Structure 1
Amino acid sequence: MKKLMMVAAFIAGSVSLTAQADVLAQKNISLAQANALATSAIQACMAKNYQVTVTVVDRAGIIKAVQRTDNAGPHTVKASEMKAYTSLSTKNASGKVMEAAQSNAGAQNMRDVPGFLLLAGGLPLKLGDEVIGAIGIGGAPGGHLDEACAQQAIDSLKL
């Protein structure tokens, strides 16, 4: 019995050491960064009289910040979230994902992925080569204009 207890203790200790070796250290966008990015994007769009919603998600696709101008349509809230999620999931601009789905028969089913919106306006947020979140904007009179506001915000904050 004593031998069995010692073997069990050894195995438990080995599993514990193995689990510690597998812990990941990952970078993520902070709440302060997400709010600053959303504010900057809102300002960029409002300067052009676009009524939009901006959503920033973290590296897991969880919403960190949402800002909506006073006159943005209600559909822009979900659209901005889905554009950010699409961009994060694919680690690419949502407009490029849309183009790939339109031009590549093998990628056309991406439109059926739950939570995806294949329209321009979502951009990944990168720290070096690592994607730490994404921004999505909905409401400008064209996805390319949403994307331009998002890029302007990213550039201004040097993310």
Structure 2
Amino acid sequence: MCAATVVDRSGVVLAMARSENAGPHTLGASQGKAFTSASARNLTSTIAKGLEANPGLADIPGYLVLAGGAPIRVGGAVVGAVGVGGAPSGLIDETCGTDAVTTVLGK
């Protein structure tokens, strides 16, 4: 049971979806992950790995430094991001999001 959010390159929500039995926290988590990925132009799992060296990242308003957010690239440029929340792990969230983007973009 999860939720997914797609944002534009500025982190503005374009679409949100939640499965019927997903927990109430999953929408906020997916939005935070998408916003973070769009802002940093990177996977949130990669950002999380570097958090020890740069702990202030976790204090940026709107940032959620947990695996599950991925940038959406078209022609090499980041045009937005997807965030997924609610799977048993953030890496599963991330795979779900990146697989969905690949399917939609046909890459």
Please indicate the TM-score interval, normalised by the length of the shorter structure: over 0.9
Following TM superposition, the consecutive aligned residue runs of length 4 or more in structure 1 with deviations greater than 2 angstroms are: none
1:158 CA drift (Å): 2.5
User: Unpaired runs of 5+ in structure 1?
Assistant: 1-50
- How many residues were matched structurally? 106
**Correspondence for 1:129 among 76, 84, 95:** 76
The structure with the largest strand share of the pair is 2
Equivalent position of 2:25 in the other structure? 75
User: Unpaired runs of 5+ in structure 2?
Assistant: none
Distance 1:129 1:63 in 2: 21
Matches within 5 A, 1:91-130: 91-102=41-52, 104=53, 107-130=54-77
Q: Which has the higher contact order (CA 8 A, sep 6+)?
A: 2
1:152 CA drift (Å): 1.0
Q: RMSD in angstroms over aligned alpha carbons?
A: 1.0
Identity %: 42
TM-score for the superposition, normalised by structure 2: 0.95
Q: Rg bigger for which structure?
A: 1
1:151 CA drift (Å): 1.3
The structure with the largest helix share of the pair is 1
Equivalent position of 1:62 in the other structure? 12
Distance 2:98 2:42 in 1: 13
